[in-house]
Amino acid sequence: MKSNVANQIFLYLNKPIKNKEMFVRRFVEKIPYFEDVGYAGYIGEDELKRFLLWSIYGQQSETSWEEINQQEIKSVIKDTLEICRPVINHSIRIFVFPTVNKFTKQKMGGVAGFTPWKNTIIINLYQTENIKQRLKETLGHELAHALALNFNERSTLQDDLVFEGVAEHFRECFIGGGKAEWVNSISKEKAKTILLGIKQELSNRNDILYKELFFESNKYPLWAGYAVGYYLVESYLEKLNKKDWKEIIKTQPSKIMKRNSFLDQ
């Protein structure tokens, strides 16, 4: 049975140049505007430019660049969408850009994914040995975000933790690959300790705490927030008699928080 949604893939994999502003501007000029998702998930061209300057170049940039096989990349994306087709009930738009961001190459295996808006995914790529598998896993994770944003918002720290936990379990279920390094960044016991320490902040939108949790800081290990979210959602999923991912994607983060016993284990 064929899917009744029409997914779209936009590839912009030119070699990055030293003139960052010029390079990003050329991309933005090519990005189509859609009434439902704006410019690749951003409300205006300036917002997209700021994002791309960061995601393509980062704080430190690689000086080397190896051409990426665009047909192979498109094939991997199509294969991944087909694997996840049973739960894709909205048309997904995927925008693929290059990157020379050292963090993406060294820590992310050459692939970084972002979901700035519902049904919209941005992927940044740097050629590495395992780029195709990394792309499948990253796309699987981001698909969960892209679909979930049709039903729930990320407006609190609790939402962020649950969204990331759901996305990692979704990826494991459909794509496989085992626990990601961000989940293995800390132990389950350490995740509990961190969660207890931030419990009073869960209902707030604390951008400083978010950055400390999900990115490297003096307070928490790199990616600690992903591990906390993973174990939170794991506890919820263990209580389900049947894992219906269409329903899990729709479930409110507050319900997932209430119906798990992670801190009691």
Instruction: Report the pLDDT value the prediction gives residue 2, as an integer from 0 to 100.
Output: 45
φ, ψ dihedrals at 12, nearest 5° = -135, 75
Give yes or no: residues 117 and 184 share one domain: no
Confidence of residue 246 (pLDDT cuts 50, 70, 90): very high
- State how far Cα 121 lies from the chain centre: 8
| Whole-number average pLDDT of the chain | 95
Give yes or no: residues 182 and 232 share one domain: yes
Among 166, 152, 141, which residue's Cα sits nearest to residue 244?
Answer: 166
Give yes or no: residues 128 and 189 share one domain: no
Instruction: Report the pLDDT value the prediction gives residue 4, as an integer from 0 to 100.
Output: 56
Instruction: Tell the residue number behind the tokens 């080397």, with chain if given.
Output: 64
Give yes or no: residues 39 and 106 share one domain: yes
In this predicted structure, the answer to whether residue 260 has a pLDDT above a threshold of 90 is no
Q: Are 1 and 85 in contact (CB under 8 A)?
A: no
Count how many domains the chain has.
2
Q: Which domain holds residue 45?
A: 8-148
Give yes or no: residues 141 and 104 share one domain: yes
- Taking the model in full, what pTM does it have? 0.96
Confidence of residue 80 (pLDDT cuts 50, 70, 90): very high
Tell me the mean pLDDT in the region 184-205. Answer: 95
Give yes or no: residues 243 and 174 share one domain: yes
Give yes or no: residues 226 and 252 share one domain: yes
Would you say residue 2 lies in a domain? no
Instruction: Report the pLDDT value the prediction gives residue 138, as an integer from 0 to 100.
Output: 98
pLDDT by residue (tens digit) across 50-70?
Answer: 999 999 999 999 999 999 999
Last residue of a domain, one of 124, 148, 172: 148
Q: How far apart are CA 125 and CA 244, in angstroms?
A: 32
